[in-house]
Amino acid sequence: MHHREFPGTGVSVSEVGFGLWTLSTGWWGDKTDDEAVAMLRDAYDAHGITFFDAADAYGNGRSERQLAAAFGTMRDRVVYGTKIGYDIYDTAAQSARRGQSELPQRFEPVFMRHAVDECLRRLNTDYIDVLQLHNVKMAHVRDPLVWDTLRALTREGKIRAWGAAFGPAIGWLYEAVELVERERDINTIQMIWNILEQHPGTAMLDAARTHAPNCVFNIRVTHASGMLEGKYTEDTVFPENDHRRHRPRSWLVNGVRKMQTLDFLASRGVTLGQAALQWLLAEPRVVTTLPNIYDREQLAEFAGASDAPPLTGDQMRRVAELAQRNFGVAEEPMAYKGTMHREPGAASEPARAAS
């Protein structure tokens, strides 16, 4: 397992990380806490994974408690990422929530500090390696108090690196662009990016190259919700509690057809799932990848991607050419969420000095 660094922070992470959403939320099938802890320990012991990405909203603190149970005696050997921003302490909102609908978001400094302290308590630690604001919107991007609070928490030693996670669905282009324009000392952004879904992630990377010299990216949905694992057919049926069951059938049919153009990536003993991660790792600003891991077979396959041969120049060029033609599939344009066009009169403020 190879490692990369969040520049200027002293935080080094494995190129393949582990996102705890698959263990703590029930959206990808149910696991007991004992099963989750065993898989987390296996990720570290057998495969060298050191970066584990949680959120206070994943199971209302469950993912953080799972991390504490797995690594409480070896805190200095692993890297904890977590997220704040949803008011998981509002019992009325919790009882009214349905499915994957969003809870109320709060980013005032007093609440952010309270949320961080609660994360530290659940994680049973006195510092968070990587703290990201969960699914920030444009109003939060433009509020300097939000980002100054993260800087203050860094000075106090409660966090080591900070940034934002954009989502929950694909989009949010100009939220990310304005953020790197305004807060140029930002350490990281979490976004969706993969071979099949390159926009708007590529544009976010371009903005960071221009405006935020030390901003690196941690990537989720690395396999296009499983499509790039190469195991779906047009007849695939997802379990009732699987979030993919609620997608339109066109997503499955078109995705399978696109995959048929990418057979050349599975070669030289490298699986398609590993090649999908190597495509991401070819970008130097990708600090770590967070594939959806459901079982030990997947864990071994994805962890092995770090040591797999990198994609050749010819393979990278072929992927780029296919992407230009939407992998040979004609389909309706994707409906993005977030701000996908620069708002009139919304030119960014001058870069703010780190306080």
Q: pLDDT tens across 145-193, in order? A: 999 999 999 999 999 999 999 988 899 999 999 999 999 999 999 999 9
In a domain, 323, yes or no: no
CATH assignment of the domain containing 193: 3.20.20.100
**Residue 12 lies inside a defined structural domain of this protein:** yes
Number of structural domains (the chain) is 1
Helix (H) or strand (E) holding 19: strand 18-19
Phi, psi of 6 (to 5 degrees): -80, 110
Residue 335 lies in a domain: no
Q: Which of 156-170, 182-196, 231-245, 293-307 has the lowest mean pLDDT?
A: 231-245
Residue 324 lies in a domain: no
Q: Evaluate whether residue 37 is within a structural domain.
A: yes
Q: Decide if pLDDT at 344 tops 90.
A: no
Q: Quote the distance between the C-alpha of residue 176 and its chain's center.
A: 14
CB 212 within 8 A of CB 194: no
pTM of the model: 0.94
User: What integer is the mean pLDDT of 87-105?
Assistant: 77
Select the highest-mean-pLDDT range: 29-33, 165-169, 246-250.
165-169
Does 342 reside within a domain? Answer: no
pLDDT at 144 (0 to 100)? 98
Whole-angstrom distance, CA of residue 282 vs CA of residue 277: 9
Predicted local distance difference test score (pLDDT) of residue 27 = 77
Alpha helices in the chain, H assignment, sequence order: 21-24, 33-47, 62-71, 91-96, 109-123, 138-141, 144-155, 173-182, 201-211, 249-259, 272-281, 296-303, 313-324
Mean pLDDT across 39-53: 98
Domain contains 245: no
pLDDT, averaged across the chain? 93
Domain membership of residue 288 as a residue range: 3-225+271-310
The pLDDT of residue 200 is 97
Q: Given this model, what pLDDT does residue 246 score?
A: 73
Residue (of 306, 318, 308) closest to 270 by Cα position: 308
CA dist 99 to 27, 93, 96, 241, Å?
9, 13, 10, 10
Which whole number is the average pLDDT over 325-336?
Answer: 93
Question: Is 218 within a domain?
Answer: yes
DSSP 45: H
pLDDT band, very low/low/confident/very high, at 235 (cuts 50, 70, 90)? confident
- pLDDT tens for residues 112-150? 999 999 999 999 999 999 999 999 999 999 999 999 999
